[in-house]
Amino acid sequence: MQLKLNKFTNLKFFKYQAILAIATIFSLLVTAFLFKAHIANNNRTTTWRNAKEIAPPFLIKKVLSLNSIARIDDKSVKVMQIPSQGAGDLYIFDLRSPQLCGIGGCLYLIYHESGKLLLPLIANPNLPPKEELMRASNTIAGEFPCLVVTQPTLNENILSRTKYCYQNQIFIRLNEEFFSSK
């Protein structure tokens, strides 16, 4: 009788060990999957890259055809891709054309991946070395991150940061802050 009880206890113990091992493996797999998804999201480009590498071809064609005032070499066009919270990606186009630049800066265009222009912007790319011209902020408005644009001011030691957030199907200017560039 004692032998049967011992076998039953051992079987029960083995069953709990097996369940614990399966649960541990499952939780490790879920953790690995979530970590991989997090890394994949963080690795999506938030730097300027060649448009042909990351932007949909129809969008590049549309942007170039709508801005045909200047002879733009499609190989020189740079794009920054900004992921959204499920509403499709944004593409910020830097056309790299002197004909689309003036005293205030150069033309930058923010498009939704569907082809809708959300914000045309004149910005001066001449900033101190460690400053980013444009970046996505941590603030989300209408499924899109707000965009932060850094610009020089008339005072060479002062820069401005302007936040643009998505409202009513376009990006609007929300606030501007000034800070020392030193």
The CATH number covering residue 68 comes to: 2.40.128
Q: Fill in the amino acid letter for 22.
A: I
Residues 57-72 have a mean pLDDT of 83
Residues 87-94 have a mean pLDDT of 95
Task: Tell me if 19 is assigned to some domain.
Answer: no
Task: Tell me if 16 is assigned to some domain.
Answer: no
Task: Tell me if 22 is assigned to some domain.
Answer: no
What is the tally of structural domains in the chain? 1
3-state secondary structure of 177: strand
Q: Which pLDDT score is estimated for 29? A: 61
Task: Tell me if 162 is assigned to some domain.
Answer: yes
Task: Give me the chain's average pLDDT, please.
Answer: 83
Domain that holds residue 138: 45-180
Q: Is the pLDDT of residue 30 over 90?
A: no
Q: Which pLDDT score is estimated for 11? A: 59
Q: Is the pLDDT of residue 3 over 90?
A: no
| Cα 106 to Cα 125: distance, rounded to the nearest angstrom | 7
Q: Which pLDDT score is estimated for 7? A: 60
Q: Which pLDDT score is estimated for 145? A: 96
Task: Tell me if 7 is assigned to some domain.
Answer: no
